[in-house]
Amino acid sequence: DAGITQSPRHKVTETGTPVTLRCHQTENHRYMYWYRQDPGHGLRLIHYSYGVKDTDKGEVSDGYSVSRSKTEDFLLTLESATSSQTSVYFCAISSGGWGTGELFFGEGSRLTVL
Amino acid sequence: AQSVTQLDSQVPVFEEAPVELRCNYSSSVSVYLFWYVQYPNQGLQLLLKYLSGSTLVKGINGFEAEFNKSQTSFHLRKPSVHISDTAEYFCAVSLQGAQKLVFGQGTRLTINP
């Protein structure tokens, strides 16, 4: 299995509070991604990173920010959580060649915003 | 922009029966195509991928898919399913050389004994 660890795995929080999800990899892969999974929508890309301090937005980036200060860590932050951000969040990594490479996924982080 | 449509949200089949999960994509340029599987409470793992070459692609666990450029489809098939194949299946597409993998809505495969 690819060395990807997401934390926390489960979190319940209240509307308006900040939340940070962490993705840690031991594969030294260049590319890292954050997706959210919702019923009927499949997986949608929030943000991705193609190197340290290099990030870009995906299709559902509003309300989210990311940071990557080290190759192995990719943080997803909800500055002020809303109920619409209740979801399962997946981190994924790729060694490169985005369009030709396989994505390896973490186990997911289930976030509930009350 | 490219998009992916999985035509069935749920597919129930009996054990040892054949199954086909349908996937259509839209793109005006060449693409790479993928099928991922998600078992309950787990992340996604790659079943198979089409990059180029033979249009019939074989993957893990006896699954295969056929790329049909004229019909812009990439349907997933298995000749005989097992209870252990119960999972959600996602079709995905990326533009060649692009930085974006787009997923379909998913198809939940349920195997009945």
Mutate to test the interface with B, among A30, A31, A94, A103 (most CBs of B within 10 A): A103
Picking from B36, B99, B105, the nearest residue to A40 by CB comes out as B105
- Give yes or no for A1 touching B (CB within 8 A): no
- Give yes or no for A45 touching B (CB within 8 A): yes
Contact B43 A99 (CB under 8 A): no
* Per-residue confidence (pLDDT) for residue A101, from 0 to 100: 61
Which range, of A93-97, A108-112, B22-26, B94-98, averages the lowest pLDDT? B94-98
Residue where the block lists tokens 């369009």: A99
Contacts of B6 in chain A (CB under 8 A): 42
Residue B6, min C-alpha distance to chain A (Å): 10
Picking from B6, B97, B100, the nearest residue to A45 by CB comes out as B100
Q: A36: nearest CA in chain B?
A: B103
Tell me the residue ranges of DSSP E strands in A1-114.
4-7, 10-13, 19-25, 31-38, 42-51, 54-57, 64-70, 73-78, 87-94, 104-105, 109-113
* Per-residue confidence (pLDDT) for residue B97, from 0 to 100: 64
CA–CA–CA angle A19, A88, B51 (5° rounding): 120
* Per-residue confidence (pLDDT) for residue A79, from 0 to 100: 93
Q: B103: nearest CA in chain A?
A: A43
Is the pLDDT at A26 greater than 90? The verdict is: yes
For residue A100, what pLDDT band results from cuts at 50, 70 and 90?
low
- Give yes or no for B13 touching A (CB within 8 A): no
CA distances from B101 to A10, A51, A58, A99, B31 (A): 26, 17, 10, 8, 10
Is the pLDDT at A97 greater than 80? The verdict is: no
Contacts of B96 in chain A (CB under 8 A): 99-100
* Per-residue confidence (pLDDT) for residue B98, from 0 to 100: 65
Let me know: does A46 contact A60? Beta carbons within 8 Å: yes
- Amino acid A109 reads S
For A38-71, how does the pLDDT look when each residue is reduced to its tens digit (9 = 90+)?
Answer: 988 899 999 999 889 999 999 899 999 999 999 9
Six-digit token pair at A68? 């990557």
* Per-residue confidence (pLDDT) for residue B101, from 0 to 100: 83
Let me know: does A113 contact A13? Beta carbons within 8 Å: yes
Contact A107 B42 (CB under 8 A): yes
* Per-residue confidence (pLDDT) for residue A40, from 0 to 100: 85
For B17-52, how does the pLDDT look when each residue is reduced to its tens digit (9 = 90+)?
Answer: 999 999 999 987 888 899 999 998 889 999 999 988
For B61-101, how does the pLDDT look when each residue is reduced to its tens digit (9 = 90+)?
Answer: 999 999 999 999 999 999 999 999 999 999 999 876 666 78
Picking from B9, B96, B103, the nearest residue to A99 by CB comes out as B96
